[in-house]
Amino acid sequence: MTAVIEARELRKVFGRRSGWLGMGAEPGKEAVAGVSLAVHAGETVAIVGESGCGKSTTARMIMRLLTPDSGRVLWQGEDVTDHSARALRPLRRLVQMVFQDPFASLNPRMTIENSVAEGLRVHQPELNREQRRARTAEMLTQCGLDPAVMGRYPHQFSGGQRQRIGIARALIVQPKALVLDEPVSALDVSVQAQILNLLCDLQRQYQLGYLLISHDLSVVSHIADRILVMYQGKIVEQGETAEIFADPRHDYTRTLLAAKPVLHPDDREA
């Protein structure tokens, strides 16, 4: 089965400096060192690790928001590593991103209708305004929002509602996968559970692949099928969620699990 997202030996170095006439060059920091992963339809793969471990850099390379220094990125089997922005544009509907801060990811000057429908104007220009409006209303409803709010602006919503809007905006172009970059870390705990349950429901409905970036093992245990533990730019352990929680092999994984109480994987459907 073709993966909806695949990364092969991704590598990224920041801060490399060249000296005068090549003398005294500084190597820079290797933020991501040979990361490989695959996400298939209907599954959630989580990358976990502390701040600065390279997980968000990996996500941005997979989204082609950053260009890897080496390695390959594939969407639905197509190698997009060397695609120009122009060549990527029609393919971006395949993989969409949900950001950590739902307020920052929404244009404050655009109504919710225009923000959510923006992808339709790019990827389905044949639709007229009424068709876009109907699709937007339908997607907002599926994400737990009343279509009557379409004329409002982002500041008129709570954090949880704004994240629902962000999810609707990502899904309206019918992607195969979502990259979820700390999607609930800015929300209250009670709202986090609602958003995670929504993501699980939408995944079942559309058979979406999720790549989840998170430092919060409670979140990861709730929705992830597989976990990749990242430390200093490398994947140091990976496996099924239940296996990682029950029998962590790497010292860093044990440290992560010991640092914070988490919801046990067996309780994910509760």
Residue 36: its H or E element: strand 29-39
Within a 13 Å sphere around the CA of 33, how many CA atoms are in the beta-carbon half? 12
pLDDT score at 267: 42
pLDDT score at 22: 56
Kindly give the pairing relationship between strand 234-240 and strand 226-231. Answer: antiparallel
For tokens 């905006």, what's the residue? 169
Instruction: Please give the Cα distance from 111 to 96 (Å, whole number).
Output: 20
Single-letter residue type at 216: D
Phi, psi of 256 (to 5 degrees): -60, -45
pLDDT score at 16: 65
What three-state secondary structure class fits 224?
A: coil
pLDDT tens digit string along 204-217?
Answer: 999 999 999 998 88
pLDDT score at 15: 80
Q: Which residues of the chain have pLDDT under 70?
A: 16-27, 260-270
The structural domains of the chain, ordered by start, are: 5-14+29-104+176-267 (3.40.50.300)
